[in-house]
Chain A
């Protein structure tokens, strides 16, 4: 083997370039995570298949039995709900992925590199965001195939999708914290579910709130998934469901979640032993 390394002492400190390097580090970690997705085509295939099954299930099996107010077809009502459900379930992979990185010692290596500390989490959540953009595009195609029609025009639909993506992004940080707190990747998955299930299903994602008992309605009306679905539905379906206040309420929840979950994620990352 030829000369492997002639040590050169200390590369100059990048004092003025901190922000630039932080962004570069986040890009690198994002790139790494996106690359990893493409390396497990099975995971990509089945994680795409699952939401499609949900669309078909609710459209053709449950949908007919769920009466909804406002005279819109159930397929229109449920689509924002299916989107939220998909990105919420997808966020579990954030927990599992980070728990795996931790378990395999990759984060140990990251921590000994001169990279920005925030880049591991920011890169993971950014990769999730990119993935979710694709999910929303694919799901829109599937929705159209089963009869969904945009109610209030393209721009409103896109705004609704952006709300869903922003919500998904904020949840990624929360699920990242769960992944970092889990002892291993298998446990990360089961730790995520008790949060995931009630939020997703005890919500207005699939059924109207009027069908639920009174004591439950208070929770359902104000919990973030319902609020975000209502906001997205206002923009994506419009008509009877149009309500500017629900859009603002959704934005408020998203801002609150980001303010709470980003620091929790960073705190968990710092606490790694």
Chain B
């Protein structure tokens, strides 16, 4: 290792501008991932998550800034870096015309393992990912969940110590998502370092030790899931009203009870506060005095969704215009990934 660092992944001030449309995809992003942990890179579509992963995995060169994997410069030692990373993409990058086994063997060979080692590893990985029965079937016959598992398996062929997972569960049904989370937890328990991009806050909450939130190519928050949530207040008071108009009226009435602005979503109003029970009671009194009828009241811990909303000003699912047009350019094929809920995985 050329220069020792306790971080498995390090990036300093990465900048990347795409000339087409003059998009500043990354505008000075720095991050570190401790060895053997998961870093969750969170942000809406078009925030720069994928660009960051592509730079860290040597596919793209940054305009400026520096990044290293286990001490190896991604720009100057790209070939060494490629030998120690695994990449599973947002769009399952596997060959549809090959079988699962052939796909894994191909990646094994291209990672410069022997024929025999690739063969043995393919059998092992297919078994670990519950794909033994499907292993000799052409990928076209796989469900979305099976394809993602195979994609991840292919990324693990050469046992890379550092793994990049770009939205590994986007478009998956809840069961497939849970399965994949289990696999990732197993890898981390075995010492693998993972950088995970996701739009699902639940996913980052469950898997990541640290979280970085990016928006418009900049880091807007970082910390552990707990500290990010704590910064926002300790609880959320959610009031459900009879209709949207009542909700807007209620929001005006209770806005003075919290430092944060109330968030109105259809007929609910949410208030982030320090002392949930006390404010909850005040909310009831205030609305009762103003004769606003309440359909429901709940107290809960803030979720990362709340953090995200307060940081970016929009919901995590929100798709920015830039990303939408970028996807249009890439062509129709990419849009073909639909959520899988038909349980074909069981086949």
Contacts and interface: CB of A to CB of B under 8 A. Distances in A.
Are A and B associated in one complex? yes
Contacts of B98: 32, 35-36, 39
A248 B117 CA distance: 47
A114 B82 contact: yes
Interface stretch (A3-11, A142-150, A205-213, A252-260): A3-11
Contacts of A25: 109-110
A114 B79 contact: yes
A184 interface: yes
Contact of A5 (B89, B107, B192): B192
Nearest to B77: A13
Contacts of B202: none
Chain A residues touching B, range: 35 or more
B82 A112 contact: yes
Given A36-B97, A273-B60, A7 B110 contact: no
Given A1-B183, A113-B107, A6 B191 contact: yes
A193 interface: no
A7 B85 CA distance: 10
A108 B89 contact: yes
Interface stretch (B154-162, B252-260, B294-302): B154-162
Interface of B: 18, 54, 57-60, 70, 79-80, 82-85, 87, 89, 91-98, 102, 106-107, 109-112, 125, 128-130, 138, 154, 156, 158-161, 182-183, 186-187, 190-192, 329-334
Nearest to B154: A109
B70 A183 contact: no
B186 A24 contact: no
Nearest to B127: A2
A11 B158 CA distance: 9
Contact of B93 (A10, A35, A105, A115): A105
Interface string A86-124: 000000000000000001111011111111000100000
A103 B79 CA distance: 24
A35 B105 CA distance: 13
A4 B85 contact: no
A147 B49 CA distance: 64
